Structure 1
Amino acid sequence: MSFRLLFALSLCGFTVCGQQNKWTKIPLKDLSFFSETGNNWSLSGGAIENDADSAVLRTIPGTGTLINHIITRPGAHLITRKSFGNLNLSLDFMMARGSNSGIYLQGRYEVQLYDSWKKMQITYIDCGAIYQRWDTTKPAGHEGFEGNAPLNNACLPPGVWQHLEISFSAPVFAPDGKKIRNARFSEVKLNGKIVQKNVEVTGPTRSSLYQDERPDGPIMIQGDHGNLAVRNIKIHQWKE
């Protein structure tokens, strides 16, 4: 065996291969990874654009793809049974036309999913944004604050599979429970393009599951706004 091959194998075992082995793909043969939810969530073998009604995705028999099809509003959210802290998350999603959803890390901090295809001026409501926070004690019309628009519009058309990658650092707390570091989105990529870089969030974003902050929490997929499909969910937990 050559020195080059030995060296490559040693690197593989120490870094790249080791990182790959830490990724866990969520099996979507059933919904057991998630807490009990509403009838708007189901499994299918895939999803495609619906020519008859573009606001609804057409499904393929089988399993492996999560489908949110809202029949009676509001639809229920989909929440993992397990809680997570520092996390890398990778998934594919498909939006129906005009749809709106979001991925909430720890059930608190939202990366927005939205049909932003061809939108020229993008804000905190668009695909790949960090959604704004909300304070009901502020004057009417000024309740929303923070929020971070995506760096660019990387959104693909509705009815097309898109890819999302999130690198998230959980908030850090002292032994007495006092927060000493905010939660942070180290990087968010949408369809291979960086849309967020080192964005801190000082607290839960609007419509979060919880108003407090903790070292960990479940992943929530928003289900009350619009129809979408999700597949190939992969999770990599890490410690500092």
Structure 2
Amino acid sequence: MKRAMMANMRLAIIGLSIVLSAAAQDRTEPNPKDTEVWTPEPGVVTPGAAAGAPSDAIVLFGGTDLGEWVSAASPGKPADWIVGAGMFTVRGGSGDIQTRRLFTDYQIHLEWRVPATLAGSGQARGNSGLFLASTGKGSGYELQILDCAGNKTYANGQAASIYKQHIPLVNACAPAGEWQRYDVIWTAPRFTADGALISPANFTALHNGVVVQNHVALQGESVYAGKPTYRMHGPAPIKLQDHGDAVSFRNIWVRPL
């Protein structure tokens, strides 16, 4: 009997040893190298100095000419805005201008300035617009440009609003006469072959370095009256609006994503 008890104890000890050994193996720390990904490596891009263009950007205005821009109403005609002193300015009444190239998803940097002396108020105070995709005359998705430093207007039409859709998170406007900057990440809408919407456009924007639109989804193209809707389109030009005010621009570049 005693021998049988001793044998059973030995078997129990052996079993416990096996269990403890397995538990110890379960507690083994994972190897960090197992989760390291080495390829493919991201391409090397040299950032621009200050707000200068990165090495892989398409420069849409570098300070000398409007070669990258055409008339939005007549794309075969050159842009007829005023160029000088490293910037260009809306020639009131000449019409909107748009890029020669077409884009889908991209990052864009743009600097703008309203005149230091403005007589109007509300929407009549340095009004223009950056259309992230121009889908036809007067159409597209507009990021509002306007003097809103002490100038009151409707919140979904002030500077850095997605016009009549999304109010900016804050008012980051600099005083009239000072240069301001927009930095935008734009993802275009996607459609099926028969024109049904697959995914809406979305949009992140910084105004003077401050986040004002945080990955918001658009309800459709910007409209002055009524509800925004989508209509099928593919790659599209970027457009700047002639609203009659002498708004100036400089240092514009874009990085297709």
TM-score (norm: length of structure 2):
0.66
Give the counterpart of 1:201 among 218, 222, 230. Answer: 218
User: What's the secondary structure of 1:124's corresponding residue?
Assistant: helix
Distance 1:121 1:228, change over 3 A: closer
Aligned to 1:127: 159
Q: What TM-score, normalized to structure 1?
A: 0.70
Shift of 1:170: 0.5
Aligned mate of 1:82, from 101, 124, 140: 101
Name the CA distance, whole Å, in 2 between partners of 1:84 and 1:28.
22
Aligned partner of 1:118: which letter? G
1:76-155 correspondence runs (5 A): 76-96=95-115, 97=118, 98-107=125-134, 108-119=140-151, 123-132=155-164, 147-155=165-173
**In the alignment, is the contact (CA less than 8 A) between 1:104 and 1:110 conserved in 2?**
yes
CA deviation after TM superposition for structure 1 residue 163, in Å: 1.0
Tell me which protein shows more strand as a share of its residues: 1
Q: Is the 8 A contact 1:116 1:155 kept in 2?
A: yes
Query: Could you tell me which of 77, 80, 88 is aligned with 1:66?
Result: 88
User: Alpha-carbon deviations, 1:130-150, whole Å to 9, x = none?
Assistant: 002xxxxxxxxxxxxxx1111
**Deviation per CA, 1:9-63, whole angstroms, max 9, x where unpaired?**
x9xx736627843222224422221113675x11011xxxxxxxxxxxxxxxxxx
Task: Tell me: CA distance 1:226–1:172, structure 2 relative to 1, closer, same or farther (3 Å).
Answer: same
Alignment of 1:1-240 (within 5 A): 14=42, 17=45, 20-26=54-60, 27-35=62-70, 36=77, 39=80, 41-45=81-85, 64-70=86-92, 74-96=93-115, 97=118, 98-107=125-134, 108-119=140-151, 123-132=155-164, 147-185=165-203, 187-206=204-223, 212-238=231-257
Give the aligned residue type for 1:233: I
Separation in structure 2 between the aligned mates of residue 172 and residue 211 of structure 1, nearest angstrom: 10
Check conservation: 1:122, 1:153, Cα contact below 8 A.
no
Task: Structure 2 unaligned segments of length 5 or more: list them.
Answer: 1-37, 48-53, 71-76, 119-124, 135-139
RMSD: 2.6
Q: Distance in 2 between matches of 1:237 and 1:148?
A: 24
Shift of 1:82: 1.1
Query: Is the alpha carbon distance of 1:174 and 1:38 closer, same or farther for their aligned partners in structure 2, counting shifts above 3 Å?
Result: closer
